[in-house]
Structures are given as structure tokens and as C-alpha cells.
């Protein structure tokens, strides 16, 4: 935790009501957007590195997480609302533009922010989840076809209260399990049942590894995450998944739209996101015409900026330094 002694915490006004920020450094603004189930803390290794490189690094709690507001309406977590939160954060910080970088759900949130508000977000970095333009089949129908006799985890998350009933009696244990399931050093063997699917009448955690934390996750780190979610619950984070059909409708006019800003992609070679979406990565010459560099880290899982902080920091700072000022 010593590396976080120079981090300043504050809350700013946004359409969500309140967005909590963790900030370090001075210089051009870099907005860091986390995924599920995480928080601003997932960027703890990047804040000091970006600050040392001459940037104003700001990691946010997305609406529904941590110390940010948690609207009650499920529809309040649609992508267009999250984009406006990000714009409000930039404005509240006294800036006109920012580079936006996202991991996991933060990656599509960052991408849609850059797509909808290109005058604000001058460059976009995507970690773990590749860019896919809006369009394609209705998400709920596509997910329902996955897994055969098993249920894809995104479908499992759709009914309000269902996943919460699994997670919230033992938040710490569930978080430890999902972090281990998607980490390179603790994930199930390739021939084991996939943790992204749920058997009939089963639970996600039935397929999570137990007994060992991944190397990147200390007991102290786990306590930070568990403490936040034990206080807030998981509904805010899960509501993001419950808006994918709404997003599909909201972004119908942007079907196939490329991201034209300077961009970066960093993925883990052992992350299911990069294998499921391999075609999206192959399409980058068309969908990311401003792509500066793309990296696939060998032997790395899903929690990329925490599993490989030094490599990710080097890639991020190198990319940022090469951006037009």
C-alpha cells in the first residue's frame, strides 16, 4: 500500500450523482476505467507509474461501485449513461480532453466513450477485451445459444437477484474464486469445465479454483476488494450486464463504426476474451484505423494490469509518450 500514499481521493458530480476518483500526478489527464468485479484499486500499480511519467492519472469507481453513487434503476447502467459520467469527470477535473484507458468492462466503456464523444476522448487504450463495433445479433439471443446444455455466465447474470444470491453470502470467497479462475497461474486446466459456464441447477463458484490465491493478489488486496463489495453489494456491477440489449438498441446508428482516435490494445494470451474475440482482433485494420500498437502477453490471464504491472506500465507510458500533444 506504500505506493498509494500520494493518491488523492475525491468525489465529483456526474449524472450518476457522485463519482469517486483516486488521483495521482500532474500533466495530461489519463482516465482509468475498471471492470467487473473490481474498483479504482485495480489501477493501483498504474497510478504511480503514470504520475512518474508526467501524467495526471485518475482511476474512477464506475457508477454502482465503491464510493460512487448507485442508482436503483437497472436501466441507469446502460452504456450511454456511463459515457456521460466519464465526460462529467473530465469536465469536473477542469479539463477539456483526456486519454481514456479501460480494462474488462472498462474497455468497451472506454471505447464507447471515444466513439460517442471523440472531441473529449482524444485517444483510447483497451485492456483484455478487444474492440468490437456496435452491431451484430441481439446480445441476449447470442448468449443463449452459447454453451449447449450449460448457461453462459452473462445469461446467468441477467435475472436481478439471482447471481447476488450466490455471491453475497460469501463475497470474499466468491471474489477469490473468480480472480483465481481467470488468472494465468491458478486458472483451471484446459480440459477442466470452463468457469464461464454454469451447469443446470449449479453455481458459477462450483467451477472456481479453491485453496490458493493468484500471485498478483495478496491477502491485503483481497481484503480491499471484499470490503468494498461487502459494503455495497454486487448489484451495481451486475447491472452493467443487464443492459446489453439496451446498449445494442441505443447504438444501432453506430453499427460497424470504427474508432478513429489513436488506440492501444493489450491482452493476455491465456485470457478467454482474446480467444473468443480473435476475429475482432484480426479486424483491427478496419475497426481501429488509429491503432498504434497491439500486444498479446504470453502466459498472462485476464487481470492484465495486476498480473503484469511492469509490462503494462511500460506499454502504456510508451504509447502515451508517442501520442500527439
The residue annotated as part of the active site, out of 34, 45, 196, 302, is: 302
Q: How far is CA 77 from the centre of its chain?
A: 14
Q: What is the pairing mode between strands 29-33 and 8-14? A: unpaired
The residue annotated as part of the active site, out of 61, 104, 247, 271, is: 104
Residue 104: active-site member: yes
Residue 85: active-site member: no
Q: Tell me how far apart the alpha carbons of residues 153 and 205 are, in angstroms, rounded to a whole number.
A: 11
Give Cα separations from 6 to 51, 52, 66, 123 (angstroms): 10, 11, 20, 26
Go through the chain and tell me how many residues it has. Answer: 325
Helix (H, G, I), strand (E, B) or coil at 232: helix
Q: Where are the alpha helices (DSSP H) in 117-269?
A: 139-144, 153-156, 162-167, 171-181, 219-232, 235-241, 244-250
List of residues 6+ apart from 200 with CB closer than 8 A: 149, 150, 151
Give the active site residues: 104, 302
Amino acid at each position: 500500500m506504500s505506493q498509494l500514499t500520494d493518491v488523492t481521493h475525491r468525489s465529483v458530480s456526474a449524472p450518476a450523482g457522485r463519482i469517486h476518483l483516486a488521483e495521482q500526478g500532474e500533466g495530461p489527464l489519463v482516465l482509468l476505467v475498471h471492470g467487473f468485479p473490481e474498483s479504482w484499486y485495480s489501477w493501483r500499480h498504474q497510478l504511480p507509474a503514470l504520475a512518474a511519467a508526467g501524467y495526471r492519472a485518475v482511476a474512477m469507481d464506475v457508477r454502482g461501485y465503491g464510493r460512487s453513487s448507485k442508482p436503483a434503476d437497472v436501466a441507469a447502467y446502460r452504456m450511454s449513461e456511463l459515457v456521460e459520467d466519464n465526460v462529467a469527470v473530465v469536465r469536473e477535473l477542469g479539463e477539456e480532453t483526456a486519454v481514456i484507458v479501460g480494462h474488462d468492462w472498462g474497455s468497451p466503456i472506454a471505447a464507447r466513450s471515444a466513439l460517442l464523444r471523440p472531441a473529449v476522448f482524444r485517444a483510447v487504450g483497451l485492456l483484455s477485451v478487444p474492440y468490437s463495433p456496435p452491431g451484430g445479433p441481439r446480445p441476449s439471443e447470442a448468449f443463449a445459444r452459447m454453451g449447449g446444455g450449460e448457461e453462459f455466465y452473462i445469461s446467468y447474470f441477467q435475472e436481478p437477484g439471482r447471481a447476488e444470491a450466490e455471491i453475497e453470502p460469501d463475497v470474499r470467497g466468491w471474489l477469490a474464486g473468480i480472480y483465481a479462475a481467470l488468472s494465468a497461474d491458478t486458472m483451471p486446466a484446459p480440459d477442466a469445465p470452463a468457469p464461464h459456464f454454469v451447469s443446470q441447477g449449479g453455481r458459477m463458484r462450483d467451477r472456481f479454483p479453491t485453496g490458493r490465491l493468484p500471485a498478483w493478489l495478496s491477502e491485503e488486496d483481497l481484503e480491499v476488494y471484499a470490503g468494498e463489495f461487502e459494503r455495497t453489494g454486487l448489484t451495481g456491477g451486475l447491472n452493467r450486464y443487464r443492459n446489453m440489449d439496451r446498449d445494442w438498441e441505443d447504438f444501432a446508428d453506430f453499427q460497424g463504426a470504427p474508432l478513429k482516435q489513436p488506440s492501444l490494445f493489450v491482452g493476455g494470451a491465456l485470457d478467454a476474451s482474446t480467444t473468443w474475440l480473435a476475429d475482432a482482433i484480426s479486424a483491427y485494420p478496419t475497426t481501429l484505423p488509429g491503432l498504434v500498437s497491439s500486444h498479446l502477453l504470453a502466459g498472462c490471464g485476464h487481470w492484465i494490469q495486476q498480473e503484469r504491472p511492469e509490462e503494462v506500465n511500460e506499454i502504456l507510458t510508451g504509447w502515451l509518450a508517442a501520442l500527439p500533444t
